[in-house]
Structure 1
Amino acid sequence: MTSPESLADELSRSGYLTDRRWRDALAAVPRERFIPGTAVAVPVDGSPRYPIDRDVDPGTWRTAVYTDTAIVTQLDDGATDLTDGIGDFTSSASAPGIVVDFLELLAPMPGDQVLEIGTGTGWTSALLTCELGPEAVTSIEVDEQVAKDAAANLQAAGLAPNLVVGDGADGWAAGAPYDGVHVTCGVRTVPHAWIEQTRPGGTIVLPWRPGFGHGHQARLTVIGDGRAIGRFSHGSTYMMMRSQRPPAPAPDEGGDWRESSTLLDPRRVVRAEAGAHIAIAGLVPGLFGHGVDGGRGTFQLWLWDGEGSAARVAYDPQYTRCGVEQQGPRALWEEMESAYLTWVEWGAPGRSRFGLTVTTEGHRVWLDEPARPLPVPE
């Protein structure tokens, strides 16, 4: 049977749900109240996405609602009809497992004031409100229509947190100071406003998505001198904050491509453990990229930095060396190759050994302790 109770049981078995108060909140604010009748279900196990329609097939709709499944509620910032099912995901009800995992990571105490970045459907706001009370929760959403729908969902559920329409990157100074900031969208750069608006000792939990490879769950503690410091824990893939979406690769219009080759298989870099990708993010700032499998065992890797540098690396099982093409002021493949091999030289440390320090000057990734920041190229 699919119900709030069966969902809580599933999340408990998977290890996401360990705190009784969030189990109680799951029962108090059933997820079905925050899911539209028509949407796109995206299973967390990597299975193909599929459309759901409460009127046409209520059983499939309810199964998606009460299993650990993300449900996309908007495509292309609302420009594409959800019934088409094809487009960029731009708003969703996140999978319950990662929702509960972030709430347990935030670990708010009674009396805490929490700022949520990204209201979405309103379900996470509802869970926070159920636990802390409406006067303790402020949620900000950049998309007016998404915010309107969330407000209707929350009102129908009898809940009234403080809802704001605006850019979450600015936080919400009117409600500061906060004890916690709960971020429901991927960020590459932690806005300093969140640190300024959080009490010393307060917590910021967020999905850190630096631009290449894995996303990472981060828990930062605000120090009170303009800094926030914390470690990475688990993986986390969220839609990017709108103001921090990655730049598109530069159009390939010929240009001065420098040709070379490498013995390093780019697949080993792309498919490396999460720790490798954190090291690359720290050692090669501003890097974006993705890889694609081709026919006959081939593989292509594209890299770019949004400022005129780009690289292409081609693996073909018929050849010992991989072809490399680079353009622009930076040699992006060579920077990535060096960073990956440096990570190997360090003993291939895993995700949990890395952390992040955020200051007014920017970000620094560190290994094992904040006093050991990764070197940044001049």
Structure 2
Amino acid sequence: MPGVPERIDGLLALLKGVGRLEEPVEQALRAVPRHDFIPALALVPDEEGLRAVNRDADPDGWWETVYADVSIVTQLDDGATAFSAVGSGGVVRLPAGVDYTSSASAPSTVVGLLNLLDAEPGHRVLEVGTGTGWTAALLSRLVGDGGLVVSVEIDPAVAEQAAKNLTAAGHDRVRLVVGDGTGGHPEDGPYDRVHVTCGVRTVPQEWVEQTRPGGVIVLPYVPGFGTGHELRLIVTPDGFAHGRFSGFASYMMMRSQRTPAGVLSYTRDHQATTTEVDPRAIGHAPAGADLAVAARTGLYSRTLIWDDAYRLWVYEPGTCHAAAVTWTEGRRDIEVRQYGDRPVWDEVVDAYFQWVGWGQPGRGRFGMTVAPDGQRVWLDEPSRTIG
């Protein structure tokens, strides 16, 4: 069986093959082995659902998974459902209503945000979302293990295990705080860097206020429509933060910003119509289109795919305003079922074709300004606000 150094070398070679790997981040990955932060029993998402990995029952499979570029689920249902309740081997089918709520992010995802953060020795860092503690340890390696990293975790059980992981790995100078990271942690600010490891739809102004002018905030922006996006913001002396979107980002949502329960049900009254717009054109559109539609409408989306059909849901969370648009192989008509009195499908179509009319700008041409009175998405420059 390959040793740890060989496994780390293999992971680094893989990461270099899929994107850039800055030298300081590479050295941190070598110094902070991922396996020190992965539990003996965990779950891995794959094409069939979730696959259990068990270090005791299948050590080779566990080690291979730990040093693969995959996310590893470490908690279910905010801790209410134990892994033992869903099995300890093979493909796992989660009971209805149970979801995964904490994980060790895929290494490529971790590297993407750390590259953007550009943390240097001596920087004071606020991390929002401790998780297993791996990224907190990596940050500590990047800035110096002198108590410069403050990591806030909302879940006490997750924080307790992270503390054990960090202590065992020799990074006990990281300051762990149990609480809601939405408000940051002003007691130890101001910070040079803010590193967010959970999906965010609305950037809290507190993070801007607790960052020095010239400081950097990196986060996964997950507006709810389509894909998620890496966002790097720079704070200015006037209390604003400006930045652009770069790559793809996939993270579990911050608990305080989880999607409220939407009404997606065929049992409610609806209006049945048809459309000439194939929902796959919007559901499979590039990231720039997702940003434009999200900013223009504020709506959410989800997709359902069968062998011969594709359905795009667009909806306003917490309300009955929704539309189900279904393409079916062999049928000329594309069915629209509209719920509520807000024409959400029409709004999405209008926003999508506005993006087309702009010349189909890619993700990198979009940015965000976070101000005391809210956040705004813009195209090319902050003065060109689109939502």
User: What residue number does 1:278 align with?
Assistant: 291
User: What residue number does 1:6 align with?
Assistant: 10
Residue 78 (str. 1) matches residue 89 (str. 2) = no
Structure 2 residue corresponding to 1:203, chosen from 197, 212, 216: 216
User: What residue number does 2:116 align with?
Assistant: 105
SS at match of 1:199: strand
User: What residue number does 1:20 align with?
Assistant: 23
SS at match of 1:51: strand
Structure 1 residue corresponding to 2:354, chosen from 325, 338, 342: 342
Shift of 1:7: 1.9
1:1-378 to 2 correspondences below 5 Å: 1=2, 2-17=6-21, 19-42=22-45, 49-83=50-84, 84=86, 85=92, 86=94, 87-132=98-143, 133-159=145-171, 160-250=173-263, 252=265, 254-285=267-298, 287-295=299-307, 297-306=308-317, 307-374=319-386, 376=387
Q: Is the 8 A contact 1:120 1:141 kept in 2?
A: yes
Shift of 1:188: 0.6
Q: Is the 8 A contact 1:263 1:320 kept in 2?
A: no
Q: Is the 8 A contact 2:264 2:322 kept in 1?
A: no
Q: In the aligned structure 2, how far is the partner of 1:98 from the partner of 1:8?
A: 13
Q: In the aligned structure 2, how far is the partner of 1:338 from the partner of 1:5?
A: 48
Instruction: Tell me which moved more, 233-242 or 306-315.
Output: 306-315
SS at match of 2:121: coil
Could you say if the C-alpha distance between residues 228 and 38 of structure 1 is closer, same or farther in structure 2, counting changes exceeding 3 Å? same
Shift of 1:256: 4.3
Q: Is the 8 A contact 1:316 1:322 kept in 2?
A: yes
Q: In the aligned structure 2, how far is the partner of 1:189 from the partner of 1:148?
A: 28
Equivalent position amino acid for 2:132 in 1: T
User: What TM-score, normalized by structure 1, do the two folds share?
Assistant: 0.93
Equivalent position amino acid for 1:206 in 2: L
Q: In the aligned structure 2, how far is the partner of 1:192 from the partner of 1:11?
A: 33
Post-superposition CA distance 1:176-204 (Å, at most 9, x none): 10111100000111111101111111111
Q: Is the 8 A contact 1:25 1:127 kept in 2?
A: yes
Q: Is the 8 A contact 2:294 2:300 kept in 1?
A: no
Instruction: Tell me which moved more, 343-352 or 305-314.
Output: 305-314
Could you say if the C-alpha distance between residues 319 and 13 of structure 1 is closer, same or farther in structure 2, counting changes exceeding 3 Å? closer
Equivalent position amino acid for 2:156 in 1: E
Shift of 1:211: 0.7
Equivalent position amino acid for 1:302 in 2: W
Shift of 1:20: 2.0
Fraction of identical pairs, as percent? 48
Q: In the aligned structure 1, how far is the partner of 2:277 from the partner of 2:239?
A: 41
Q: In the aligned structure 1, how far is the partner of 2:25 from the partner of 2:265?
A: 50
Q: In the aligned structure 1, how far is the partner of 2:275 from the partner of 2:287?
A: 23
Q: Is the 8 A contact 1:134 1:162 kept in 2?
A: no
Shift of 1:260: 2.4
SS at match of 1:3: helix
Q: In the aligned structure 2, how far is the partner of 1:261 from the partner of 1:338?
A: 16
Gaps of 5+ in 1: none
Post-superposition CA distance 1:254-275 (Å, at most 9, x none): 5442332210001110011111
Equivalent position amino acid for 1:147 in 2: A
Shift of 1:110: 2.2
SS at match of 1:135: coil
Post-superposition CA distance 1:221-241 (Å, at most 9, x none): 112323211101000110000
Query: How many residues are paired up?
Result: 370
User: What TM-score, normalized by structure 2, do the two folds share?
Assistant: 0.91
User: What residue number does 2:89 align with?
Assistant: none
Instruction: Tell me which moved more, 67-76 or 115-124.
Output: 67-76
SS at match of 2:25: helix
Shift of 1:47: 7.4
Equivalent position amino acid for 2:204 in 1: P
Q: Is the 8 A contact 2:120 2:142 kept in 1?
A: no
Q: In the aligned structure 2, how far is the partner of 1:254 from the partner of 1:6?
A: 52
Equivalent position amino acid for 2:297 in 1: V
Shift of 1:292: 0.9
Shift of 1:70: 1.0
Shift of 1:253: 7.2
Shift of 1:62: 0.5
Q: Is the 8 A contact 2:226 2:302 kept in 1?
A: yes
